[in-house]
Amino acid sequence: MILHYGDLYVIINTIITEYDGHRGWLYTVAVSPNYQRQGIGSKLVRHAERILIAMKCLKINLQVSVSKAEVVEFYRKLGYLVEERVSMGKLIA
């Protein structure tokens, strides 16, 4: 959502998703702090889910840092479950 204040445009939310033909991914869901807890993030996720489902996606994945308990709870309320996995990465410097 973009709000318009005179000559100023303010982006208050964003979501980045991907579908690789096998799984869908939610990479980024962000809502400006002044607009959080108004249901905007939930609406963004549900919108992305509808798009992925329309593309015949059968499973949606996401990753959350262990330290972000409030984010884990947000996704739990939307029906996501913690899956036992090992997440690996390689930093290329």
CATH of the domain at 57: 3.40.630.30
Q: Return the pLDDT at 60.
A: 97
The pTM assigned to this predicted structure is 0.83
Range(s) of the domain holding residue 26: 13-77
pLDDT of residue 4: 75
Residues of the chain below pLDDT 70: none
**Count of domains forming the chain:** 1
Cβ–Cβ under 8 Å, residues 35 and 13: yes
> What pLDDT does 6 receive?
80
CA-CA distance, 67 to 77, in Å (whole number)?
A: 18
Q: What is the pLDDT of residue 5?
A: 80
Average pLDDT in the chain:
92
Scanning the chain, the segments in alpha helix (DSSP H) are 40-54, 69-77
